[in-house]
Amino acid sequence: MKRVMALDVGFKRIGVALSDPLRLTASPFKVIERRSNRETFGELLSIIKEKSVSDVVVGIPVNREGKRTKIGEKIEKFTEKLKKFLEDEGVEVKFHFVDESYSTLEAKELMRSLGKERETVDDVAAALILKEWLERER
């Protein structure tokens, strides 16, 4: 079985989390500092190839009415460009969107409760997004 990768997409950073090959666990993997789309997509492509990723879960914030926020729309556009980049590179992965409205807040709380304050929690937020998706898929 192939791994699932989750992305917590922000304006400055992208948190990346990966499942194990059996898709039982979700672990923080890396925080990518965003540069040009081409560089960022290239970095994501190498993770996808290196770690045998078949599915990408992208967190999208939604408002109280369940509609995508302005930021959510930007993340969707980013994801469309990433999808096209991967297709142009001959890489086929399935994309899934999940609501991630409070994942960063949850990640900060989790790290605080573990006594591990750290500046960036984007990869932990991505792991929470992935954990939720894996549980729903089971």
Predicted local distance difference test score (pLDDT) of residue 102: 67
Q: In the chain, where are the structural domains located?
A: 3-137
Spans of the chain below 50 pLDDT: none
pLDDT at 29: 97
106, 34 Cβ separation under 8 angstroms:
no
Question: Of 93, 83, 95, 96, which Cα lies nearest the Cα of 37?
Answer: 83
Distance CA 16, CA 46 (A): 13
Q: For the whole model, what pTM was predicted?
A: 0.89
CA separation for the pair 76, 59 (Å, rounded):
9
Q: How many CB atoms lie within 10 A of CB 41?
A: 19
* Rounded-to-integer distance, Cα 59 and Cα 137, Å: 16
Q: What are phi and psi of 4, to 5 degrees?
A: -115, 140
Task: Please give the CATH topology (third level) of the domain spanning 3-137.
Answer: Nucleotidyltransferase; domain 5 (3.30.420)
